[in-house]
Amino acid sequence: MAGGQTVGTVVIDFPPASQSAAWQARSAILQAVGYGTLAAVALAATAALLVSRRTTRPLTALAAAAGAVERGEDGAEKLLRPGPGELGQVSAAFAKMARTLRHEDQLRRDMVADIAHELRTPVTILQGGTEELLDGIADPTPGKITSLHDETLRLGRLVDDLATLAAAQAAALTLHRVPADLGKIAAAAAGALESQFTEAALTLNLDTAEATAVADEARITQIVTNLLTNAIKYTPPGGQVTVTTRAGAGAGTARLTVTDTGPGIPEADLPHVFDRFWRGTGAKGRSGAGIGLAVAAELTAAHGGSITAASPPGGGAVFTVTLPAA
């Protein structure tokens, strides 16, 4: 408008929406988002499948291994598959448990076989001797009755040893711990065995300095008695047995040592001296069922201590018991 008169006209023409640059950009963006979403869903599904397979395979293998253990099959841990993170730790723990169970089962089988073997001899002798008496083949002479009585005593000692071993394995539940001087306990136990040392022509040396431990006196007496009895059994006449007690070199320990001048322990036997029913190469012709040292080891462990065996190059055996100090 100029001076109140129309001098020109402007016409604004809007093209179709499909031809708009903005619309085209919007469509391209939506299309890209759609394709991206589809790709993300596909990748997520693939990743989920891979993760689920990696997760379920160890679990499936673990279930199979558990079933094998339940059925008593050997080598159940071979069925396991490695897994990520905590699954791998669970598989490793299960494999260790399976090996432990197999080892314990083998120990149980061996123990039953050993007990049967140890019981068979006295039972056979008793059965044969009593049948001879019943059938009149043998007369009930004092010598015959004494022989049968000796086998009865042997059988009774074996049963007592087995009961002691069972009690030792459960000793952690029945210990009455008090501050106790290992020197006094060792001296008392040695005094109770004085007649056996005299009969075996052995010299007993006591070097018992004060060494106070937190312990059950009755159980520690049993440990010392078993170690001394073992020394009497393996030390030849004229030999010496020495009992030493000291406060441990490490803080908070008390130590008891039993040393003998016997033939010593073969190196191959050292790892087995505390095994149940173990009778080493030097045990031939000696009494006992191989339980005494096993009992000593169980009782020591129940006190939270340790027991070791050594055989110096010059001969003899050294047993050392280390207990927590009071």
**Per-residue model confidence as pLDDT tens digits over 265-317:** 888 888 888 887 665 555 444 445 567 888 889 889 888 899 999 998 888 89
Place of tokens 């018992």: 208
Sequence-distant (≥ 6) Cβ neighbours of residue 302 within 8 angstroms: 168, 171, 172, 175, 219
pLDDT, mean of residues 19-28: 72
CA-CA distance, 192 to 190, in Å (whole number)?
5
What count of residues does the chain have?
A: 326
What is the rounded distance in angstroms from the CA atom of residue 214 to the CA atom of residue 181? 9
50-67 tens-digit pLDDT: 777 667 777 777 788 888
CA 64 to chain centre: 26
**How would you class 72 by CB atoms within 10 Å of its CB: exposed for 0-12, middle for 13-18, buried for 19 or more?**
exposed
Query: Among 67, 66, 68, which Cα is nearest to 91's?
Result: 66
Distance, CA of 100 to CA of 284 (rounded, Å): 32
Domains and their CATH numbers in the chain: 24-115 (no CATH), 176-324 (3.30.565.10)
Bridge partners (DSSP) of residue 213 are: 180, 325
> Which pLDDT band holds residue 256 (cuts at 50, 70, 90)?
very high
Q: pLDDT tens digits for 184-229?
A: 999 999 999 999 999 999 999 999 888 999 999 999 999 999 999 9
Q: Is 214 in contact with 323 (CB distance < 8 Å)?
A: yes
Q: What does the pLDDT average to over 176-180?
A: 91
Select from 303, 287, 284 the least CA-distant residue to 295: 303
Q: Is 303 exposed, middle or buried (0-12, 13-18, 19+ CB in 10 A)?
A: buried
Q: What is the pLDDT of residues 97-155, one digit of tens each?
A: 888 888 777 777 777 777 777 778 788 888 888 888 888 888 888 888 888 888 888 78
Model confidence, pTM: 0.61
Tell me which residue has tokens 């169980």: 298
